[in-house]
Amino acid sequence: MSVKIGNIDLGEFPLLLAPMEDVSDPPFRYVCKKNGADMMYTEFISSEGLIRDAAKSLQKLDIFEYERPIGIQIFGGDIEHMREASEIASAAGPDLVDINYGCPVKNVVCKGAGSSLLQDIDKMVKMTDAVVKASHLPVTVKTRLGWDDNTKNVYEVAERLQDVGIQALTIHGRTRAQLYKGEADWSLIREIKRNPRIKIPIFGNGDVDSPEKAANWRMEYEVDGIMIGRAAIGYPWIFREVKHFFKTGKHLAGPTMEERIEVCRTHLDKSLEWKGPKTGIFEMRRHYANYFKGLPDFKPYRMRLVAESDISNIYSILEEVAEKFANYDATSVLA
């Protein structure tokens, strides 16, 4: 039975790419889509930035046809500004609008946005209602279990946000106080899924980093789909590997060194296309270590890659890496 968000058909058990600041841009989304991500989101976009036409916020609205279905995620602490931002985001042509009530970062929380709203459910409900009414698209929400261990209120959040019209809910299995530390707890996510009042899809997020875990948690926690974030950084193959494991119960061989180089280069090419040479080269630097994680003696190459500003030299270094490690079994060395 297909999982649907409004009229968006995501298939039987979708794998979603999490919206990650400074990561989930179009170049990164491209390589994840090519490797099996069923649904993706933009980096979260400030409502204040959209309203004042801030260049960085407007650039994050860029979406491409091959990415569909895709959601634009917005965040903010002012209800009216979120309503306006919803209209702007909807006009950019995504398939849905997502509200971030989960970001735990201090400079977001101190502005009354992100997971800060978990301390004021009434305001969260009013804000969500305003966004739902302002958009002609399905509205979804991503949040956490609660502010801290003493206020795990996501059960109430799920019911009340469904009542004002959201059409899917993604829950990260940590509180705001945990940040990204400790282990994600999906048990409350399962309770919400079992709640007979809840009719919308419930997606789980947090700590899914292997095909076995995805398969086990799919069964144990009864979610409608899984959102993968950090495990996809430098390893977009996680999506195809999870899907293969679902179908066969067996592991798909990991990417070869040739595939690593090819996808890294594709990511770089897309970065150059979207951001231009200067910014494209600079922002790609954070990804090299992740693409070649675990490769012995890679550090000298990484140092050269992050220092280089000439694109032809970067391509040459990647060719050197390909030649140097051609005989390594990348599927085991880099797993």
Cis, peptide link before residue 211, omega less than 30° from 0: no
Report the 10 Å Cβ neighbour count for 252: 16
- Which string of DSSP letters, residue by residue, matches 165-181? T---EEEESS-TTTTT-
88 three-state secondary structure = helix
Q: Among residues 32, 103, 110, 264, which one is catalytic? A: 103
Residue 152 tokens read as 């795990």
Report the 10 Å Cβ neighbour count for 229: 20
Looking at the DSSP assignment, which residues form a beta bridge with residue 225? 203
Distance CA 199, CA 193 (A): 9
Q: In which element (H, E) is residue 70 found? A: strand 70-75
With a CB cutoff of 8 Å and minimum separation 6, the contacts of 6 are 96, 137, 138, 167
Which among 9, 19, 11 is positioned nearest to 227, based on CA atoms? 19
Is 110 noted as a catalytic residue in this protein?
Answer: no
Q: How many residues does the chain have?
A: 335
Residues with a known catalytic role: 103
